[in-house]
């Protein structure tokens, strides 16, 4: 284990200040009002302060209902600025009818939907009696440009045929890429670390999609400056202490897009920036537990876990022992 860890911020006995809700993603879970003999459903919606919206819907239809089609409802959206929308069907089939153009699209696993919008009105209908599991990701175009830079974003939108406002398309995407959006929210984390993980997973998805499109968005970075920059990012992360950086703050610090920094870092160290920070903080927690008597729940809270039990589970997965065993 590296000996250069600074863990004094974990051993500090000053009481933690309460987290600010402005930094944490806002998540609302809604039970969908189905008759119990027809189906059950849950819609989970998360919004970040950068304007990213993640909608994860799950519908389980009762086999005994005998319905081959189940109306899901009409949905209208109006956005304050242009957005990039990704719609993924992980399981089942859904028929989406545009109420303005009257165009209808059958959506199923393997072919993802993409759009560049200011607003839309659609009607959705599940077309089979099996479960329907979908993810919708909405990213403001302005923030997408910050993540990928303007040239990269333009190339991606052109390849997906949604470079014009109010355009829609479907494009075949491997399940290994689409599944990234199904698992991009970790409720065991809290506040800024939870937000950073969501941003990192979204960035991983966009980079993987870019490689699939062969758009040149992510290329091998063998140049010496890229190697040095990745090392500088790592050293900086090892000294941020209690602060949890955002992708934007890392980008500002090192003068490159989050997409480029993450690609360079992954090539150099074999893991993403978020994965490194999460693992490094577990190593810091390991040393802090050995050196001091700070309660485990305080350490768990400070390194970004929403509950001490989530911290214990992650600690055991990494070190094959519980944190409590270091003090026994």
Mean pLDDT of the chain: 81
- Residue 224's pLDDT is 66
Contact 24, 195 (CB under 8 A): yes
CATH code: domain 194-326 is: 1.10.10.60
Tens digits of residue pLDDT in 31-85: 887 777 778 889 999 988 888 999 999 988 876 555 567 788 888 888 999 999 9
CATH of 26-184 given 2.60.120.10, 3.40.50.11540, 3.20.20.70, 2.40.160.10: 2.60.120.10
Least confident of 22-31, 157-166, 198-207, 230-239: 22-31
**How confident is the model over 262-279, as pLDDT tens digits?**
888 888 888 888 889 888
In DSSP notation, 245-267 reads --HHHHHHHHTS-HHHHHHHHHH
224 within 8 A of 255, measured Cβ to Cβ: no
Q: Measured between alpha carbons, how far is 138 from 85 in angstroms, rounded to an integer?
A: 5
Smallest CA-to-CA distance from 38 within 66, 12, 74 is with 66
What pLDDT sits at residue 218?
40
> What DSSP letter does each residue of 30-70 carry, written as one string?
EEE---TTTEEEEEEEEE-TTS-EEEEEEEEE-GGG--S-E
pLDDT confidence of residue 217: 42
Q: Rg of the chain over CA atoms, in angstroms? A: 22
What is the per-residue pLDDT for 66? 55
- Does 137 have pLDDT greater than 90? yes
List, by residue range, all CATH 1.10.10.60 domains of the chain: 194-326
What is the pTM assigned to this prediction? 0.68
pLDDT at 214: 66
Tens of pLDDT, residues 207-228: 888 877 864 444 444 456 778 7
Q: State the pLDDT at residue 67.
A: 59
Segment 84-120, tens digit of pLDDT: 999 999 988 888 888 887 888 888 888 899 999 998 8
CB 78 within 8 A of CB 136: no
Q: What is the mean pLDDT of residues 310-328?
A: 87
CB 312 within 8 A of CB 322: yes
Tokens representing 259 are 């997409």
The predicted pLDDT at position 34 comes to 79
Q: Are 109 and 158 in contact (CB under 8 A)?
A: no
């Amino acid at each position: 284990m590296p000996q250069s860890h600074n863990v004094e911020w974990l051993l500090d006995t000053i009481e933690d200040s309460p987290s600010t809700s402005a930094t944490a993603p806002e998540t609302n879970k809604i039970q969908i009002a189905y008759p119990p003999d027809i189906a059950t459903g849950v819609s989970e919606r998360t919004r970040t302060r950068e304007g990213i919206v993640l909608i994860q819907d799950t519908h389980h239809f009762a086999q005994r209902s005998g319905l081959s089609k189940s109306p899901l409802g009409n949905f209208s959206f109006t956005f304050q600025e242009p957005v990039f929308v990704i719609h993924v069907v992980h399981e089942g089939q859904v028929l989406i009818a545009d109420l303005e153009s009257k165009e209808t699209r059958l959506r199923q696993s393997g072919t993802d939907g993409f759009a560049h919008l200011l607003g839309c009105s659609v009607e959705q209908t599940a077309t089979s009696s099996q479960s329907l599991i979908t993810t919708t990701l909405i990213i403001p175009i302005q923030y997408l440009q910050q993540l990928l830079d303007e040239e990269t974003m333009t190339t991606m939108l052109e390849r997906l045929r949604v470079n014009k406002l109010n355009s829609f398309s479907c494009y075949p995407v491997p399940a290994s890429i689409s599944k990234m959006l199904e698992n991009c929210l970790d409720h065991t984390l809290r506040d800024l670390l939870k937000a950073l993980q969501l941003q990192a997973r979204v960035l991983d998805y966009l980079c993987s999609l870019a490689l699939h499109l062969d758009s040149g968005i992510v290329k091998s970075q063998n140049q010496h400056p890229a190697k040095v920059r990745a090392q500088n990012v790592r050293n900086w992360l090892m000294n941020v202490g209690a602060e949890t950086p955002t992708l934007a703050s890392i980008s500002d610090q090192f003068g490159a897009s989050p997409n480029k920094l993450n690609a360079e870092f992954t090539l150099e160290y074999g893991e993403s920036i978020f994965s490194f920070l999460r693992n490094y903080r577990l190593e810091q927690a390991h040393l802090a537990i050995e050196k001091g008597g700070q309660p485990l729940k305080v350490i768990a809270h400070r390194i970004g876990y929403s509950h001490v039990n989530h911290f214990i589970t992650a600690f055991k997965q990494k070190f094959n022992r519980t944190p409590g065993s270091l003090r026994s």
